[in-house]
Amino acid sequence: MKIIGKLLIAILLCSVLPSAVWAQEDEMTVEEELDSTYTDIHARMVQFQGELLQLGALSRFRMDIDMEMPLTEPLLDVMGNRLKTLTIAVNSFTSRWDAYSQAQQVYIADNDSLLSKLAEVQQMKQMVTDTLASRQLQYDQLSAFAKAEVFIWSQDKIYQKLYKQAVQYSLSGKLAAKLEKVKAAEQAEFADVTKHYEQAKAAADAFPGLKIRMKGIDEKYFQLQTVSTKIQEMAYKPFIQRIKDYLMGLAAVAIVLMFLNMVRSKLKALKVAREQAQKMKDMMNGQHNYPTI
């Protein structure tokens, strides 16, 4: 009986011990697999971070403009194409990163190191996105300035035609309707001019290198504004009234000229009087210059 009992105990131990060993081995295998998964995710996130570093470096290209760099269409095309390429690359990165981080969110949420790396990548991605948005805004401003510059300087012929038509239609009361149409057309045209002018002004404020060119646009804008005011003030006047206005204009000019001549004469007389007074003073000083004993 003792021998049979020992055999049963031996058989029982042989059946229990392998199960315990296998359970321990399974537990170690799960931990190792989890650690391996964490390592793989971390390595992949580092790769994403490396891509962001490259995109960030590419997005920080210079957009300085000066008078020696003409703001031509080819130059703007180069800038625009570069921005498009970067935008496509950033959008592609964002799609891949979002898909990967969401797929691994269970593992990331359970590991402090992965959570920290996730925050780093998100912060870098935001910086790259903000930089790219800033470059896009600058490009839009430069494009608007180039278009505004061409548009405003091309208005001379348009305004010459509008002014000529307004003068012709103001000669007869029967043409009042046509005159109003010209005024309406000019008003719409000047609104467009003003819109382009404001865009150019905003770009010049953002890029100091455009200030000198902006001065020329300022002068042209104020010239157009003067012509616009004249066109809007035009109205039919009888021929006699036009002659009266013309003569009154001449009279006003004559009065101004007469006033200027009078002022000039008084200044000249004052200058002569001062010179004579100085001569008299010098003469008096000379008479009292006697030798002393």
- Going 223 to 226 to 232 to 235, the CA torsion angle's sign is negative
CA dist 171 and 157 (Å) reads 22
Q: What token pair was written down for 60?
A: 């920080």
Domain residue ranges of the chain, discontinuous segments joined by +:
70-146, 156-256
CA dist 192 and 188 (Å) reads 6
Which pLDDT score is estimated for 191?
97
Residue 249 has pLDDT above 80, yes or no: no
Residue 246 has pLDDT above 70, yes or no: no
Residue 9 has pLDDT above 50, yes or no: no
pLDDT in tens, 110-129: 899 999 999 999 999 999 99
Residue 20 has pLDDT above 50, yes or no: no
Q: Averaging pLDDT over each range in 29-33, 62-66, 202-206, 237-241, which range is the top one?
A: 202-206
Which pLDDT score is estimated for 112?
92
The residue-averaged pLDDT of 12-36 equals 58
Q: Averaging pLDDT over each range in 141-150, 166-175, 194-203, which range is the top one?
A: 194-203
pLDDT in tens, 30-65: 678 888 889 999 999 999 999 999 998 888 776 666
Residue 195 has pLDDT above 60, yes or no: yes
Query: With DSSP H G I counted as helix, E B as strand and the rest as coil, what are the percentages for the chain, rounded to 5?
Result: 90, 0, 10
Contact present, 238 and 246 (Cβ < 8 Å): no
Lowest mean pLDDT among 67-81, 142-156, 218-232: 67-81
Which pLDDT score is estimated for 43?
94
